[in-house]
Amino acid sequence: MNKQRVANLLGLAQRAGRIISGEELVVKAIQEGKAKLVFLAQDAAPNLTKKITDKSRTYEVEVFTVFSTLDLSSAIGKPRKVLAVTDAGFSKKMRSLME
């Protein structure tokens, strides 16, 4: 798995406006079917982790926990613990890089 390339893609997706970040907005995106892929920080709080994984399981959205809060934040240029990718093309490329 190439974490650096995925992080670079996250930055590109952020600049393209294809990332939703922040707990409430990500939960809403999952419920509305906009989230194609979710990135959750490994070091996120247990209640946030449970909330996001439960919602994602219910709505069948894949969740990756390969980045720390610092990695996610530096990838998109904002302090964040959870991100949702809303673009099918970006999420497909990220999934292929994760394998």
Whether 1 shows a pLDDT value over 80: the answer reads no
pTM above 0.75, yes or no: yes
Q: Which of 73, 94, 93 is nearest to 83 (CA)?
A: 73
For every residue of the chain, DSSP letters joined together read --HHHHHHHHHHHHHTT-EEESHHHHHHHHHTT--SEEEE-TT--HHHHHHHHHHHHHTT-EEE--S-HHHHHHHHTS--SEEEE--HHHHHHHHHHH-
Report the share of the chain in percent with pLDDT over 90. 95
* Domains of the chain, start order: 3-98 (3.30.1330.30)
